[in-house]
């Protein structure tokens, strides 16, 4: 055994060993319990970033831990390969997105391999390949025939200069990112998946997911957003035609207090009124052009304009003015709301602004009146007042009675409403799964038959930022109708990339299956036992995957009993870094933290900082997410090259608990590098020393106490303290005056504990010291109860020098 720790050779050797044994290939062996451990697959953006290293290290720690516990573990890897960045890169470099994507995959795969993850590369998949995305198309055609996929109009950002649809990300302060043109909102036909058909089940099943963080379940619950309320009709007359304006409310108890109605700019009643009212038409036009993003919409000033029309109150027959409100969305409920200013904050402000009557109908904690300014108490539940027959009723009684009375008149009923909307999957972009629909002038929208799937995306296209590239390629869109064989056009929109990532986890069970979306191997591996990924996916990706799991089960007939795709979920925190800039050149220039030298005072506070290369002073701008714009990205490759994969892995685990944000600091890496070196040095000296059979009870107590804690922390995924335990055990071993049986036992425990986190060095030393051939096949260490029981109090007192 050599004296110096050289990570490069140790890691090369360990990886060669694993490769020669095909150590990470998984088969459907039934003798042992299966454990499917999955980290969210990466988008092939170019290089790995620290977030990837963190995500896959966490997954690998669990994978190796469960292997040592005797499970049949699957940990696969693939590529979420369709998406917008490839088109942006194509525009910048004039390279086809396909080429750019495949190059990135090759580079990032080599990086992942250099980190020594226990991945089964035999199952690698990329969503941009037709053998994957054909099953997106296959599922879509089935949902389409069932009516679970359908066409309707949806709103998009339209850049009038480039004549193209923009992603929300490409809209900067209301303008197109490339053209600077004011973005317009446009309604275009799109395909939707009817996820709302599963709203009730997706909500109810959250209670059956004990392995998910409460936080995530709560977010999903609120997102699905069940509201129990009443659908209420307000009759009105339009051109001698009797019609009803429908609204939905959870506060039917305040119905008597309704003093106005507000409808969306797209609502038929508003459109009708605008025909004779140019000013109103202008206002509605402005509303329609407004923001698409809900966050922006929620913050705009609430504005309205009267239509001049009135509707009758369904209970009092009072005439109520109908307004157009810029805050009312056509996509939500009925596209209309009733305004009850006395008991709703938004309506209160609206009524004050436009001098509409405010009529209190609920007795609240502050009394029977609602003087300005608005107080939250006004919106609380209370007893009805000024409400005729409903006076004195509480919330539930009032709602029940009013719903009953409305029903008798045919003007209302109780209704459940969901916040969740159907999933619009059409994208007017090139680099995605073609939607398998043929538009026939005679037969309409015809799904592509199975025999003609996949509809292959041409890979030689270089988008230029204008229009939809596929719509410019007749050789792609010109086709024949599958039903009548007459000339027809293919749909040129592609699918949302969330479709790709909504089922890849199941495909990993059988990526080579060319006859079907999934086969019985999916029944073996699914559900994923442990899923690991960023908290930013808490709602959309996870909800879509839960929806797709249900769809797949119904369409394939496989995976009986598996409604939920992910049994346990670990949401990792983001990786942050310091950022620095200099104003020396007149404009703000961001300096990468790796190039900054920091001066600190005697207490360690930053006094000044300068760029190492030229000494120019730089300003510390705090800590934030790694981004290109702030030039504070840390390239993990530099870290791997300098200290080795094991140090990179150990540090990312040690620095912070997996669910916390992780603040990157190159300097802190030193402790991890030093520790691994110390393990090596200790093992080297141990390998050469003569050993006695003595047992040091105090040291042994400390080792087993740390091990006990580490096993507890392992189970609750507090991996940073497991890494700490490794350090504590080494500290304890180094206090032994001589090499003895305790050294040997402690070293054996240490290497096994270290193996999931820093697998190469653990593998190497395990063999060198003659503990066995493969540390991954060793049993996971368990604390010895006897070592912990004996004279526990006395030992603790002596060890820590103070009473516990």
Angle among Cα 563, 568, 571 to the nearest 5 degrees reads 120
Pairing of strands 528-534, 487-490: unpaired
> Which CB sits closer to RNA, 244 or 574?
574
Site stretch for RNA (CB under 7 A), options 90-98, 359-367, 391-399, 599-607: 599-607
> Taking CB under 7 A as the rule, does residue 660 contact RNA?
yes
Relative to beta strand 171-172, strand 383-384 is: unpaired
Taking CB under 7 A as the rule, does residue 675 contact RNA?
A: yes
Q: How far is the CB of 557 from RNA (least distance, A)?
A: 28
Q: Give the Cα separation of 400 and 380 in Å (integer).
A: 18
Is residue 599 a contact point for RNA (CB under 7 A)? no
Judge whether 95 and 89 are in contact, CB under 8 Å.
yes
Task: Work out whether 668 is an interface residue with RNA (CB under 7 A).
Answer: yes
* Contacts of residue 253, Cβ cutoff 8 Å, sequence gap at least 6: 361, 362, 381, 384, 390, 393, 395, 398, 399, 402
Q: Given the complex with RNA, which of 122 and 668 has the nearer CB atom?
A: 668
Q: Which two tokens stand for residue 722?
A: 């497991």
- Of 386, 415, 483, 665, the one binding RNA (CB under 7 A) is 665
**CB atoms < 10 A from the CB of 519, how many?**
15
Question: Considering only residues 670, 689, 695, 785, which one is a binding residue for RNA as defined by CB under 7 A?
Answer: 670
Q: Can you say how many angstroms the Cα of residue 466 is from the centroid of all Cα atoms in its chain?
A: 30
Query: Does residue 466 interact with RNA by CB under 7 A?
Result: no
Whether the ω angle into residue 475 lies within 30 degrees of 0, i.e. cis, is no
If binding is defined by CB under 7 A, does position 248 make contact with RNA? no
Q: How far is the CB of 66 from RNA (least distance, A)?
A: 21
- 203 three-class SS: helix
Q: How many beta carbons lie within 10 A of that of residue 251, not counting itself?
A: 20
- List the interface residues with RNA, window 521-560 (CB under 7 A): 535-541
**Position 778 contacts RNA (CB under 7 A):** no
293-302, long-range: CB < 8 A, 24+ apart: 293/168, 293/171, 297/327, 297/329, 300/326, 300/327, 302/326, 302/327, 302/346, 302/349, 302/350, 302/353
Q: Which of 631, 720, 743, 755 binds RNA (CB under 7 A)?
A: 720
- Give yes or no for a contact between 44 and 536, defined as CB atoms under 8 angstroms apart: no
Site string for RNA, 327-356 (x = CB under 7 A): ------------------------------
What is the distance between the alpha carbons of residues 363 and 210, in angstroms, rounded to a whole number? 41
Nearer to RNA, 306 or 657 (CB): 657
Total of residues contacting RNA (CB under 7 A): 87
- Can you tell me which of 72, 672, 740, 743 binds RNA, judged by CB under 7 A? 672
41/135 with CB nearer RNA: 41
Question: What are the Cα distances from residue 214, in Å, to 217, 236, 241?
Answer: 5, 46, 52
- Which of the ranges 54-62, 166-174, 546-554, 688-696 carries the binding residues for RNA, by CB under 7 A? 166-174
Q: Please report whether residue 152 would count as binding RNA according to CB under 7 A.
A: no
Q: CA–CA separation, 510 vs 487, rounded Å?
A: 37
Identity of the residue, 135 or 719, whose beta carbon is nearer to RNA in the bound complex: 719
Question: Segment 208-227, which members bind RNA (CB under 7 A)?
Answer: 214-215, 218-219, 222-223
CA dist 713 and 725 (Å) reads 10
Nearer to RNA by C-beta: 280 or 758? Answer: 758
By the rule CB under 7 A, 299 interacts with RNA: yes
The answer to whether 643 contacts RNA (rule: CB under 7 A) is no
User: Of 655, 683, 703, 762, which lies in the binding site for RNA, with binding defined by CB under 7 A?
Assistant: 655
Backbone angles phi, psi at 797, to 5 degrees: -60, -45
Q: Looking at beta carbons only, is 2 or 660 nearer to RNA?
A: 660
Residues 563-592 that bind RNA (CB under 7 A): 574
Using CB under 7 A, which of the segments 377-385, 390-398, 727-735, 774-782 binds RNA?
A: 727-735
52 binding RNA? (CB under 7 A): no
Name which position in 294, 301, 460, 475 contacts RNA (CB under 7 A): 294
Q: What minimum distance in Å lies between the beta carbon of 294 and RNA? A: 4
Task: Confirm if 517 and 559 have CB atoms less than 8 A apart.
Answer: no
Q: Is 679 among the residues that bind RNA (CB under 7 A)?
A: no
800 binds RNA (CB under 7 A): yes
Tokens representing residue 580 in the block: 């620095």
Q: What three-state secondary structure class fits 441?
A: coil
- As given in the structure block, the two tokens for residue 268 are 């038929």
Site for RNA in 30-49 (CB under 7 A): 43
Task: Choose, by CB under 7 A, the member of 513, 711, 724, 748 that binds RNA.
Answer: 724
Minimum distance of RNA from residue 664's CB (angstroms) = 9
Q: By CB under 7 A, tell whether 319 contacts RNA.
A: no
| Per CB under 7 A, 164 contacts RNA | no
Q: How many helices and strands in the chain, by DSSP H and E?
A: 26, 33
Tell me which stretch binds RNA (CB under 7 A): 104-112, 200-208, 400-408, 602-610: 602-610
Distance, CA of 204 to CA of 150 (rounded, Å): 25
CB atoms within 10 A of CB 638: 12
Q: Helices marked H in 147-213 — which ranges?
A: 199-204
In the bound state with RNA, the residue whose beta carbon lies nearer, of 154 and 382, is 154
Among 728, 760, 763, 764, binds RNA (CB under 7 A): 728
Out of 51, 83, 333, 341, the only residue in the binding site for RNA (CB under 7 A) is 83
> 628, 591, 632, 589: which is closest to 611 by C-alpha?
591
What is the DSSP code (8-state) at residue 240?
T
Q: Which of 250, 316, 478, 661 binds RNA (CB under 7 A)?
A: 661
| Residue 225 backbone dihedrals phi, psi, to 5 degrees | 60, 70
Interaction of residue 153 with RNA, rule CB under 7 A: no
* Out of 423, 430, 505, 686, the residue judged to bind RNA by CB under 7 A: 423
CB of residue 757 to RNA, shortest distance in Å = 13
Phi and psi at 665, nearest 5°, equal: -150, 120
């Amino acid at each position: 055994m050599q004296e110096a720790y050289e990570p490069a050779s140790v890691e090369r050797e360990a990886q060669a060993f694993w490769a020669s044994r095909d150590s990470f290939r998984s088969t459907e062996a039934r003798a042992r319990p299966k454990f499917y451990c999955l980290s969210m697959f990466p988008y092939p953006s170019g290089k790995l970033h620290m977030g990837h290293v963190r995500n896959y290290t966490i997954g690998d720690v669990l994978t190796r831990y469960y292997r040592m516990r005797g499970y049949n573990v699957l940990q696969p890897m693939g590529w979420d390969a369709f998406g917008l960045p490839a088109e942006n890169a194509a525009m910048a470099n004039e390279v086809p997105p396909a080429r750019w994507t495949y190059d990135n995959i090759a580079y990032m795969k080599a990086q992942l391999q250099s980190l020594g993850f226990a991945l089964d590369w035999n199952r690698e998949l990329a969503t941009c390949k037709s053998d994957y995305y054909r099953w997106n198309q296959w599922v879509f055609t089935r949902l389409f025939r069932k009516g679970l996929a359908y066409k309707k109009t949806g709103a998009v950002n339209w850049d009038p200069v480039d004549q193209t649809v923009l992603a929300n990300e490409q809209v900067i302060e209301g303008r197109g990112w490339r053209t600077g043109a004011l973005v317009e909102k446009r309604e275009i036909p799109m395909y939707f998946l009817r996820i709302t058909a599963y709203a009730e089940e997706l909500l109810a099943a959250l209670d059956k997911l004990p392995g998910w963080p409460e936080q995530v379940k709560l977010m999903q619950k609120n997102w699905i957003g069940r509201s129990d309320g009443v659908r209420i009709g307000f009759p009105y007359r339009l051109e001698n035609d009797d019609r009803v304006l429908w609204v939905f409310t959870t506060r039917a108890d305040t119905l008597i207090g309704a003093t106005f109605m507000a409808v969306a700019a797209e609502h038929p009643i508003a459109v009708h009124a605008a025909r004779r009212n140019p000013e109103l038409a202008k206002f509605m036009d402005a509303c329609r052009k407004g923001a698409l993003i809900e966050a922006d919409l929620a913050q705009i000033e609430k504005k309205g304009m009267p239509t001049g029309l009135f509707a009758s109150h369904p209970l009092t027959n009072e005439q109520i003015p109908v307004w157009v409100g810029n805050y009312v969305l056509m996509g939500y409920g009925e596209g209309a709301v009733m305004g009850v200013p006395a008991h709703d904050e938004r309506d209160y402000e609206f009524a004050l602004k436009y001098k509409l009557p405010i009529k209190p109908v609920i007795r609240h904690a502050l009394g029977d009146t609602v003087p300005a300014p608005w107080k939250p108490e006004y919106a609380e539940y209370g007893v009805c007042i000024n409400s005729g027959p409903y006076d004195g009723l509480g919330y539930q009684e009032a709602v029940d009675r009013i719903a009953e009375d409305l029903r008798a008149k045919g003007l209302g009923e109780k209704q459940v409403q969901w916040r969740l909307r159907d999933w619009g999957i059409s994208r007017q972009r090139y680099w995605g799964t073609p939607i398998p629909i043929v538009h026939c002038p005679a037969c309409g929208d015809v799904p592509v038959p199975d025999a003609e799937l996949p509809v292959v995306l041409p890979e030689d296209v270089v988008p230029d930022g204008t229009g939809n590239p596929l719509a410019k390629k007749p050789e792609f869109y010109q086709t024949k109708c599958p039903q009548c064989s007459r000339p027809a056009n293919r749909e040129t929109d592609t699918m949302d990339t969330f479709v790709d990532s909504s089922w890849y986890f199941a495909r990993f069970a059988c990526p080579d299956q060319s006859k079907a979306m999934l086969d019985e191997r999916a029944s073996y591996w699914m559900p994923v036992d442990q899923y690991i990924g960023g908290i930013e996916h808490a709602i959309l990706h996870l909800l879509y995957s839960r929806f797709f799991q249900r769809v797949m089960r119904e369409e394939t007939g496989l995976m009986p009993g598996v409604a939920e795709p992910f049994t346990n979920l670990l949401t990792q925190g983001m990786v942050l870094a310091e950022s620095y800039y200099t104003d020396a050149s007149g404009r703000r220039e961001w300096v990468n933290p790796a190039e900054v030298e920091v001066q600190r005072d005697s207490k360690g506070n930053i006094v000044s900082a300068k760029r190492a290369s030229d000494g120019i002073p730089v300003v510390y701008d705090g800590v934030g997410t790694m981004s290109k714009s702030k030039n504070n990205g840390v390239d993990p490759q530099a870290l791997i090259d300098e200290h080795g994969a094991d140090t990179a892995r150990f540090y990312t685990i040690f620095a912070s608990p997996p669910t916390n944000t992780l603040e990157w600091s190159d300097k802190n890496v030193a402790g991890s590098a030093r520790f691994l070196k110390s393990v090596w040095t200790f093992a080297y000296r141990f390998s050469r020393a003569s050993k006695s059979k003595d047992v040091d009870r105090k040291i042994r107590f400390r080792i087993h106490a740390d091990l006990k804690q580490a096993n507890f922390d392992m189970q609750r995924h507090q991996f940073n303290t497991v890494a700490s335990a490794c350090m504590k055990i080494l500290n304890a071993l180094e206090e032994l005056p001589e090499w003895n049986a305790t050294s040997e036992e402690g070293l054996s425990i240490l290497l096994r504990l270290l193996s999931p986190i820093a697998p190469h060095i653990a593998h190497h030393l395990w063999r060198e010291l003659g503990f066995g051939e493969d540390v991954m096949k060793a049993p996971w260490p368990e604390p010895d109860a006897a070592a912990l029981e004996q004279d526990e109090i006395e030992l603790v007192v002596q060890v820590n020098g103070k009473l516990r």
